[in-house]
Copies of this chain bind each other. A is one copy, B any other.
Amino acid sequence: MASEITYLEAIREALDEEMQRDPNVFLMGEDIGAYGGAFKVTDGLLAKYGESRVIDTPISEAGFVGAAAGAAHMGMRPVCELQFIDFISCAYDILTNYVATARYRAFLPCPMVVRGPSGGYVRGGPFHSQNPEAAFLHTPGLKIVYPSTAEDAKGLMKAAIRDDDCVLFFEHKYLYRRVKGVMPAGDHVVPIGKARIARAGTDVSIITYAATVYKALEAAEQLAAEGVSVEVLDLRSLLPLDDEAIQATVKKTHRVLLLHEDTRTGGIAGELSARINETCFAWLDAPVLRVAAADVPLPYAPPLEDYVLPQTADVVKAVKHLIAW
C-alpha cells in the first residue's frame, strides 16, 4: 500500500528506479555520493550503485556537463546534478552550443538530464534562488521541465531520463519537502510537453508552473469564496509548451493571467502571451496580464524577497482586475 512521499523523495525514487532499469543511467555532480547531495536528493544511491554510477565531480559544471554529453553520445544516460541551479550559468556555453546542437549538426544523440534545486521563497539570496529557464527557451535542441507536484516530479524525471535528447529538469527547492504525494503504482511516466489542469474553472485562467502553482491555487480558493471561478493550468513542461492545453483554457475562460516567479521582463510569460495572442486573439475578453517577480536580482532579507516575488494577494488582485475588465 503506497504511502505519501515528498517531492524530493519522488525525484530520488525516479532516479533509483531508472538506475535499476537501465545500467546506462549514472549520476554525476558535486557532493552527490557519500554526502548524498546538498539537499540529499541522491542520498543512499552511492551505497546502492557504487562509485562508478554515482560520481562525485570536481567543482566544474562545464567539465562534468560536457563529460555527460560525451558519455551520452556513447549510449550512456547521465544525470547531472547542479548543486544549485544557479550554477547552470557555468555550463551555459556547453549546454546551448554543444549539447543542444549535437543531434542537429552532427547526428549525435545526447540523452542526458541536467537537474538541480531552483527557485526562491527560501531566503537564498541572489545566487541560490534563481529561475534560469527563460535563458534556455530560445535554444532549440533542449527540453525544459519544471514540476510542481511530487507525482509529476517522479513521472517527469523518468520521462526525462528516457528522452533521447537533453532535458533540463528544474526542481523547486521550496517544494522539496513541503509537497507530498502518493505515487501511482507501476511504471509512472509523465509525458514531456503536456500541461495539467491543477484546478478547473470558468471565469479566468491562470497559467503558471512550479512554486507559483500553489500561489495560484491559494488565490483561486479565496476567489471562489467571492464567486469567481478560476482555472489553474500547470504547464509542467516549458519546452516544448503544450499549446493545445493553453489554447483550450483560454478559449474556455477568455481571460488569462500569466504567473511566474522569474522576473517580469524576459520571463517565459512573454512567449505565452505571444502565443495566446497569435492563436486566441478573438477569444480574449481582456488583455493577457502577467504577475511575476520585479525586475531586480532576488534579494535575501525576508521583507525584500517577499516584496520582489509574486504573492497570493497579487494574484487575487490581478484576477479581480481581469474580471472587472
Q: Which residues of A contact B (CB under 8 A)?
A: 86, 89-90, 92-93, 96-97, 100-101, 104-105, 126-127, 134-141, 239, 258, 262-263, 265-267, 269-274, 277-279, 281, 284, 286-290, 295-297, 299
Contact = CB atoms under 8 A, between A and B. Distances in A.
A94 to B, nearest CB: 9
Instruction: Give this chain's copy count.
Output: 2
Given A140-B297, A239-B265, A277-B287, A93 B89 contact: yes
Contacts of A126: 97, 101, 104-105
A266 B297 contact: no
A288 B297 CA distance: 30
A121 to B, nearest CB: 18
A263 B89 contact: no
Nearest to A61: B93
Contacts of A96: 89, 135
B296 A266 contact: no
Residue among A140, A266, A284, A296 with max Cβ neighbours from chain B (10 Å): A266
A259 B266 CA distance: 17
27 contacts: A86-B97, A89-B96, A92-B92, A92-B93, A97-B127, A105-B297, A134-B137, A134-B138, A134-B266, A135-B138, A138-B265, A139-B266, A140-B263, A140-B295, A141-B297, A239-B265, A265-B271, A269-B274, A270-B273, A272-B274, A273-B277, A274-B288, A274-B290, A277-B277, A277-B287, A278-B287, A278-B290
